[in-house]
Each structure stands twice: as structure tokens, then as C-alpha cells.
């Protein structure tokens, strides 16, 4: 390397200048932060994000026209790219090791708060570096001559895809809205609470026809009757009920064997259960225990309206059934929008419903009531930029697959 022949700041700029400039930008960001506070993303809401977007695109085209000028050469150089990537990695690293939250009410702002470390993504340093990556990447893409080659294909899919992703998620952030809506079974709702807990009416309504919860088969455990601690207390041991095998197992010194299991059970008499498929039901199992005492009895985890039942093992320990874990919760709904759209179907976790620029998610239910919950809550997300984000993700996805298939061989 003959780097010493060229003095710093003499064209063409290389790593030294790029790193210094990027560092300078970060310092400017921190100064802005301490004087005027964090960046307000809502300044970017429609239509201002459109203006800025057009500005960035025009600038990128401009820089491809003047690509022989020293400044634009530098703006699209690998040197600047690497420096920017280092900068964003370091900022994200700070973010990764500091708590991301508003300053707690009873605390005074310290130096990290002043620099915006606690809300990194809306700190000026982060926003400036992010913007410069967007501008530089745009110029890099528009400068490069299109060609039918593997090399160009990999380049354009990864870089244009990433640009689209950064562009639409950054500029679209302010246009995104999220609401939580609570709907009683059998009712129709279109009102939500906004961030200030004020009632707001949405152009979309949800009618909840039915709400159902499915539960996993619960586990068995031995507890200390006085403390309630699962035994052995140093390393709690659970036995997953398995209706297929009905094997005898050893649980904390007691041989237990499943005789019968009922997923939807209600009390038949004082200490026995029978199958009744209704919402108030509870899982129950008939267990034979061999130990100091031998017995075959029912154990049940109980529900919000049924008492749990345990099996006494001796004076200190008892066999209990853990509350069943939720497998899935499903809301059957009709959704209507102001534009006269209508959809009917099930919404559950991982299976949201899409209607126009809205997505509706299963959010929660009344945890205390479990299966007997009388309402279901939904998260409604409005994101008009989502399609662009997905196109970006799709392009990088393809680009990555080509990166895997070709490796470095496409360079040849």
C-alpha cells in the first residue's frame, strides 16, 4: 500500500477521510441531541415523507449524472460505505447494551440520556447515519450500469432491496398506526383507546361471533402442601401426561401411572370426574400411586369456576396437576370497513386477517377467566407502506439465495 504518498484531505478521499467525516457527523448528531433533544419521527408523516423520498431519489439520479466529480465518487465509494457500516454497527452496539426506555420519572437525566442512548433509533446521530446510508446507497445503485450478469443481479437485488426496505420502513414509520380494540362476545365494536386513553372511532368494525381457547394436556408435579413449592425444590420435576403410552413413571420417589385422562371434565361427585364438553370444564386425570400409600384417585388443575383437586401422598406432600398451558386462542369474527368491505373468518396468533392496508391480530383475552373469557382483544395495525417493505424483503431474500448459490464464484 502506498497510502503515505497522499496527504489527508487530498483527493481522492479514502478510509481516513471517510472515517473522520462519519465521526464528525456522529458528533454533530450528539450535539444536536444535547441542544434540541431527540428527533421527532412524526415530522415525517404524510405528505412530508413523500417530499423527502422524492428528494432522495432526485439526489441519487443527480449523483449518477455527476459521477465523475470527486465528491460523488467519494459518496459512492466503498470507503464511505465501510465507514458508514462501522458507524451503524457501533450505534446499534450501544443500543444493544443499554436499556431502551424513556427516562424513569424518579430519575434525573444522566449523560447517556442526554446523548440519546436510551432511545437510540430516534437520536440524531442514528437518524443522520441512517439517512446518509440511504442517500449513499441510492447513489451507488443509480450510478452502476445495468447489465445481464450474475454480478449485477446479485448486486441489484441486495442493494436495491435493502434501499427499498430502509426507505419504506424509515419514511413510513410515522404513517403507521397501531390500536388495541376490546370486543365482547356477540357484540360489534369500532372504538379504540389511543395513546392518551381517549376514545377514537376507526373506519373499521369487528363483530366477535365466538371466542375459543384450546389447551395443552397439563403436567403432574409433587408439591409441599405447606409451602406450595414444586419438589425437589432445587430442581422442580414435572411429568408430562402422555395419553398414548400410560407408562409408569417415577416422580419424586413415587411411582405413578395414568389410568384415565379427561380433557374436558366436570365434577361428577365429590371426588370423581366425568366428561362434559363445556367452557367451564377442566382437565382431570385418574392416577394410581404406589409409594408409602397405595391409591387410585382423581387429580385436576381446576378452572376459574372449579376447585382444583390434589392427591395426598403423605402428611407433607401432595400430587397436583399444573394449570394447562394455552395452545391457541381463536376469535371468529366478521370485519366491516367504511369502504363497504366485509370479511368473515378466524383470527388467532400467527394468523392475522388482512383487509386493505389493515392487519388485525389476536391480542389477548381475560387471563383470569381463561376459557370463560367474555371478550377478546385485537391489535389493529395500519401500515400503507407495508407493500414496499415486502418488495424490499423479497428482493434481499432472492439476493441472499443467489449469494448462497454462487458464493464468490460469480466474481469470475
Partner 1 sequence: MTWTNFIFFAIGSIICWTLASILIYKQKYKKISNILFLLGIAILLTFIILFWQNLKRPPFRTIGETRLWYSFFITLVGYITYKIWKYPWLIIYTSIVGIVFLIINLVKPEIHSQTLMPALQSLWFIPHVTAYIISYSMLGAATIAGIILLIKIENKKQDIKLENLIDNLVYIGFGFLALGLLMGCLWAKEAWGHYWSWDPKETWAFLTSTAYLVYIHSRLHKINIKISLWILIISLILLCITWLGIDYIPSAQSSIHVY
Residues making contact with partner 1 (CB under 8 A): 1, 15, 78-79, 81-82, 85-86, 88-89, 92-93, 95-100, 120-121, 169, 176, 178, 216, 238, 240, 325-329, 348-352, 359, 361, 379, 381, 389, 393, 396-397, 399-404, 406-409
- Distance, in Å, from the CA atom of 283 to the CA atom of 324, rounded to the nearest integer, reads 8
Residue 48 interface partner, choices ligand HEM, partner 1, none, CB cut-off 5-8 Å depending on type: none
Between 305 and 389, name the residue whose CB sits nearer to partner 1: 389
Between 241 and 396, name the residue whose CB sits nearer to ligand HEM: 396
Q: Which residues bind ligand HEM (CB under 6 A)?
A: 78, 81, 84-85, 133, 136-137, 140, 144, 151, 154-155, 158-159, 162, 396
- Minimum CB distance to partner 1, residue 325 (Å): 5
Between 193 and 397, name the residue whose CB sits nearer to partner 1: 397
Residue 131 interface partner, choices ligand HEM, partner 1, none, CB cut-off 5-8 Å depending on type: none
Between 151 and 191, name the residue whose CB sits nearer to ligand HEM: 151
Between 137 and 220, name the residue whose CB sits nearer to ligand HEM: 137
Between 137 and 313, name the residue whose CB sits nearer to partner 1: 137
Residue 140 interface partner, choices partner 1, ligand HEM, none, CB cut-off 5-8 Å depending on type: ligand HEM
**Is the N-terminal amide bond of 79 cis, ω within 30° of 0?**
no
Between 291 and 352, name the residue whose CB sits nearer to partner 1: 352
Complete edge-to-edge strand list for the sheet that includes strand 219-224: 239-240, 219-224, 317-321, 311-312
Residue 169 interface partner, choices ligand HEM, partner 1, none, CB cut-off 5-8 Å depending on type: partner 1
Between 369 and 398, name the residue whose CB sits nearer to ligand HEM: 398
- Minimum CB distance to ligand HEM, residue 159 (Å): 5
Residue 155 interface partner, choices partner 1, ligand HEM, none, CB cut-off 5-8 Å depending on type: ligand HEM
Residue 259 interface partner, choices partner 1, ligand HEM, none, CB cut-off 5-8 Å depending on type: none
- Minimum CB distance to partner 1, residue 233 (Å): 15
Residue 379 interface partner, choices ligand HEM, partner 1, none, CB cut-off 5-8 Å depending on type: partner 1
Residue 137 interface partner, choices ligand HEM, partner 1, none, CB cut-off 5-8 Å depending on type: ligand HEM
Amino acid at each position: 500500500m502506498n497510502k503515505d504518498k497522499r496527504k489527508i484531505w487530498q483527493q481522492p478521499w479514502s478510509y481516513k477521510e471517510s472515517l473522520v467525516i462519519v465521526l464528525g457527523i456522529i458528533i454533530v448528531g450528539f450535539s444536536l441531541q444535547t441542544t434540541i433533544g431527540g428527533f421527532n419521527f412524526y415530522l415525517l408523516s404524510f405528505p412530508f415523507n413523500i417530499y423527502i423520498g422524492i428528494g432522495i431519489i432526485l439526489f441519487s439520479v443527480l449523483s449518477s449524472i455527476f459521477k465523475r466529480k470527486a465528491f460523488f465518487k467519494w459518496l459512492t465509494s466503498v470507503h464511505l460505505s465501510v465507514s458508514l457500516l462501522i458507524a451503524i454497527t457501533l450505534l446499534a452496539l450501544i443500543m444493544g447494551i443499554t436499556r431502551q426506555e424513556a427516562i424513569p420519572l424518579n430519575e434525573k437525566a444522566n449523560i447517556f440520556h442526554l446523548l440519546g442512548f436510551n432511545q437510540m433509533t430516534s437520536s440524531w446521530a442514528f437518524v443522520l447515519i441512517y439517512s446518509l446510508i440511504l442517500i449513499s446507497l441510492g447513489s451507488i445503485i443509480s450510478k452502476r450500469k445495468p447489465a445481464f450478469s450474475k454480478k449485477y443481479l446479485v448486486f441489484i437485488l441486495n442493494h436495491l432491496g435493502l434501499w427499498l426496505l430502509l426507505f419504506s420502513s424509515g419514511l413510513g414509520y410515522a404513517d403507521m398506526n397501531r390500536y388495541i380494540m376490546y370486543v365482547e362476545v356477540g357484540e360489534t365494536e369500532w372504538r379504540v383507546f389511543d395513546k392518551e386513553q381517549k376514545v377514537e372511532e376507526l373506519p373499521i368494525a369487528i363483530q366477535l361471533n365466538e371466542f375459543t381457547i384450546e389447551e395443552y394436556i397439563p403436567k403432574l408435579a409433587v408439591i409441599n402442601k405447606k409451602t406450595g413449592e414444586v419438589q425437589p425444590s432445587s430442581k422442580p420435576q414435572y411429568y408430562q401426561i402422555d395419553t398414548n403410552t400410560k407408562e409408569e413413571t417415577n416422580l419424586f420417589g413415587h411411582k405413578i401411572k395414568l389410568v384415565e385422562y379427561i380433557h374436558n371434565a366436570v365434577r361428577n361427585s365429590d371426588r370423581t370426574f366425568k366428561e362434559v364438553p363445556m367452557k367451564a370444564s377442566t382437565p382431570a386425570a385418574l392416577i394410581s400411586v404406589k409409594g408409602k400409600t397405595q391409591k387410585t384417585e382423581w387429580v385436576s388443575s381446576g378452572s376459574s369456576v372449579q376447585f382444583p383437586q390434589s392427591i395426598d401422598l403423605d402428611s407433607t406432600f401432595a400430587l397436583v396437576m399444573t394449570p394447562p398451558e394455552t395452545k391457541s386462542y381463536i376469535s371468529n369474527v366478521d370485519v366491516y370497513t367504511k369502504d363497504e368491505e366485509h370479511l368473515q373468518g378466524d383470527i388467532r396468533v400467527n394468523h392475522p386477517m388482512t383487509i386493505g392496508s389493515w392487519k388485525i391480530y389476536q391480542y389477548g383475552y381475560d387471563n383470569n377467566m381463561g376459557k370463560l373469557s367474555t371478550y377478546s382483544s385485537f391489535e389493529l395495525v395500519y401500515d400503507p407502506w407495508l407493500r414496499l417493505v415486502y418488495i424490499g424483503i423479497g428482493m434481499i431474500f432472492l439476493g441472499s439465495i443467489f449469494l448462497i448459490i454462487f458464493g464468490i464464484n460469480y466474481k469470475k
